[in-house]
Every structure is written in structure tokens, then in C-alpha cells.
């Protein structure tokens, strides 16, 4: 292990390794080689070893990696050894589907607040027990509920304004589902999810025929 700048791609792959390893745990696999994990994840074995080498030595030479240990180590690396409170801003089709989506909870992400501007939605109690607040209460509730990451599922036009409010409320992680590029100060980390961009990529590949 050495001290170096970690490639962004490495971080994303660590998540993928972790998920694959967790599946394997459920199938009672105790030890795994980089070769087998690589095949499962669709990457090069050396890639996995390099990725892990940024953070330490987690394997046993001649043997492989203990699956359970490696999951714990990766969680440590990513900061997932504790819960992360989320807020959903925008309780429309997508927002409410995500609020009900079990996959977040499974990985330690907990919705503790939800916001909308629609009077018909404000005050409604959601299946997970939280109540929809008006966006006017954003800052107050975000601090009260100790939210650390905001998910934006508003229409495109509202997204930037919401992002500004989130930053003012002290949030510095945003997952943006709105189809616009939002601008934030450096202290805030934004990740975008745009399904149609992925579709464009598929369309391209089908068009050029590879």
C-alpha cells in the first residue's frame, strides 16, 4: 500500500465488489480469489488487486480473500460502517417509488425526511413512517432529522433552486435524478442519475453495431 490519489473508478468498483461479495456470503462462499471475483464483476483480476492495494493488504497469498472480512474492509473504506440519513426532495412518481424501494435500507441508507410543494402531498404519511414536509421547511427539518445526503427528484426546472437550498441547509452530498446539470460549490459532492443517458449509450452501440 502506498499513499496516492484514488481513482474515482476505483471507488465505484469497490461498491460493485462489495455487492458481489455480499451475494457470495449468502451462498456460504468463505474465500474467493481475485480471478473468480473478477469474472463475476466483469473486470480484470489485477484491477481488483490494484484497487484494494490503494487501501491496504486484505488478502492471503496463495489463498485469496476471506469474503466476510473483505466486505467489512470495503465498508470501512467507503464509510459505510454507519447509517446515512437521506432526504427525498420531490415526492412524485419517481420519488415515491424510490422511497418504497427496499434497496436503500438494505445498504444502510435511511430516509428520514421527504419534501414536496404540492399541498395534496404535504402532511401525508409515507409507508416507511415519515411525513412529507413542505419545501419551505427544508432547512429546519434537515437539521432536525440529521440528514446528510439529499436526493432530488423534482422537475428539471426546480432542481437548481433545491440544490441551492440544500447547500444552505448544510448538505454536502446530492444525488440528482433531475435531467439537468446542477451547479454547487466545491464543498458539495453531486452525483447524477440520468437513465436516458444510459439509453443513449445503448442506442449508439446498437446503431454502430458493435
Partner DNA sequence: TGTTTGATGTGAATTATCTCACATGTTTGT
Partner DNA sequence: ACAAACATGTGAGATAATTCACATCAAACA
Tell me whether residue 76 or residue 137 sits nearer to DNA (CB atom).
76
Residue 114: partners with Cβ closer than 8 Å, 6 or more residues away? 87, 88, 89, 91, 95, 99, 126, 130, 131, 132, 133
Long-range contacts of the stretch 74-81 (C-beta < 8 A, 24+): 74/14, 74/17, 74/18, 74/21, 75/18, 77/14, 78/11, 78/14, 78/15, 78/18, 80/107, 80/108
Give me the helix-helix angle, 67-78 and 8-26, nearest 10°: 140
Q: How many residues does the chain have?
A: 210
Tell me which residues in 37-76 interact with a second copy (CB under 8 A).
40-42
Shortest CB 16 distance to a second copy, Å: 7
**Is residue 7 involved in binding DNA (CB under 7 A)?**
yes
Among a second copy, DNA, none, what does residue 88 contact (CB within 5–8 Å per kind)? none
- The interface mask with a second copy, positions 158-187, x = CB under 8 A, is --------------xxxx---xxx-x----
Among a second copy, DNA, none, what does residue 191 contact (CB within 5–8 Å per kind)? a second copy
Tell me which residues in 13-32 interact with a second copy (CB under 8 A).
14-16, 18-20, 23
Tell me which residues in 42-61 interact with DNA (CB under 7 A).
43-47, 49-50, 52-53, 57-61
Per CB under 7 A, residues contacting DNA are 1-2, 5, 7-10, 32-35, 43-47, 49-50, 52-53, 57-65
Per CB under 8 A, residues contacting a second copy are 8, 11-12, 14-16, 18-20, 23, 40-42, 77-80, 84, 86, 93-94, 96-98, 100-101, 103-104, 107, 109, 148-149, 172-175, 179-181, 183, 189, 191, 193-208, 210
Amino acid at each position: 500500500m502506498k499513499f496516492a490519489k484514488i481513482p474515482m473508478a476505483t471507488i465505484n468498483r469497490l461498491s460493485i465488489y462489495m455487492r458481489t461479495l455480499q451475494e457470495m456470503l449468502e451462498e456460504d462462499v468463505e474465500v474467493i480469489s481475485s480471478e473468480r471475483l473478477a469474472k463475476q464483476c466483469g473486470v480484470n483480476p489485477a484491477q481488483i488487486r490494484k484497487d484494494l492495494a490503494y487501501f491496504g493488504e486484505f488478502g492471503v497469498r496463495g489463498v485469496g480473500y476471506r469474503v466476510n472480512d473483505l466486505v467489512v474492509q470495503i465498508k470501512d473504506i467507503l464509510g459505510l460502517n454507519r447509517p446515512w440519513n437521506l432526504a427525498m426532495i420531490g415526492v412524485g412518481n419517481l420519488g415515491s417509488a424510490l422511497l418504497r424501494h427496499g434497496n436503500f435500507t438494505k445498504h444502510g441508507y435511511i430516509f428520514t425526511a421527504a419534501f414536496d410543494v404540492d399541498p395534496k402531498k404535504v402532511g401525508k404519511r409515507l409507508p416507511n413512517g415519515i411525513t412529507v414536509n413542505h419545501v419551505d421547511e427544508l432547512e429546519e427539518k434537515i437539521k432536525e432529522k440529521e440528514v446528510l445526503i439529499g436526493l432530488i427528484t423534482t422537475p428539471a426546472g426546480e432542481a437548481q433552486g433545491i440544490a441551492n437550498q440544500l447547500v444552505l441547509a448544510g448538505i454536502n452530498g446530492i444525488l440528482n435524478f433531475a435531467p439537468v446539470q446542477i451547479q454547487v460549490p466545491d464543498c458539495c459532492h453531486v452525483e447524477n442519475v440520468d437513465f436516458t443517458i444510459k439509453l443513449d449509450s445503448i442506442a449508439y452501440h446498437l446503431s454502430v453495431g458493435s
